[in-house]
């Protein structure tokens, strides 16, 4: 079993839909959780960063962490065609400079 599991999709939704992306993990030491967006042939870029359990909102994006269930989510409201990309969850046990453990990514297409 991989440390981080993520449904690879692909996921296709109409423009304006609410998108829910999820990851589960097995290492209870993980405390720092991130969501990266990766466009085709580009490097990942950080979207959201959260520490421990709870919610964090940034514009149309909301990240949720449930450490008791070892489950994290990213919600995208009012999805746009420009949101079409691969979304990667990532996590680490420590803050600061530390290697990240990634899920395999979920490929999202938002259809106009």
Partner 1 sequence: GAGVSQTPSNKVTEKGKYVELRCDPISGHTALYWYRQSLGQGPEFLIYFQGTGAADDSGLPNDRFFAVRPEGSVSTLKIQRTERGDSAVYLCASSSTGAGDNEQFFGPGTRLTVL
Distance (Å, whole) CA 34 – CA 100: 9
Q: Is 77 in the site for partner 1 (CB under 8 A)?
A: no
> What binding mask, one character per residue, do residues 92-111 give for partner 1 by CB under 8 A, x or -?
---xxxxxxxxxxx------
Segment interacting with partner 1, rule: CB under 8 A, options 14-22, 44-52, 53-61, 76-84: 44-52
Stretch that binds partner 1, among 12-20, 63-71, 74-82, 87-95 (CB under 8 A): 87-95
Identify which of residues 2 and 77 has a Cβ nearer to partner 1 in the complex: 2
Q: Which of 19, 63, 65, 88 binds partner 1 (CB under 8 A)?
A: 88
Give the 3-state secondary structure of residue 83: helix
| Residue 49: how many other CB atoms lie within 10 Å | 14
Q: Binder to partner 1 among 19, 32, 35, 108 (CB under 8 A)?
A: 32
């Amino acid at each position: 079993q991989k440390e981080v599991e993520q449904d690879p999709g692909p996921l296709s939704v109409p423009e304006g839909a609410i998108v829910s992306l999820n990851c589960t993990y097995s290492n209870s030491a993980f405390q720092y959780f991130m969501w990266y967006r990766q466009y085709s042939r580009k490097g990942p870029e950080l979207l959201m960063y959260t520490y421990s359990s709870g919610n964090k909102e940034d514009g149309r994006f909301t990240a949720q962490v449930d450490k008791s269930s070892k489950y994290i989510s990213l919600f995208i409201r009012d999805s746009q065609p420009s949101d079409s990309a691969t979304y990667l969850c990532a996590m680490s046990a420590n803050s600061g400079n530390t290697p990240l453990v990634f899920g395999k990514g979920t490929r999202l297409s938002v259809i106009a």
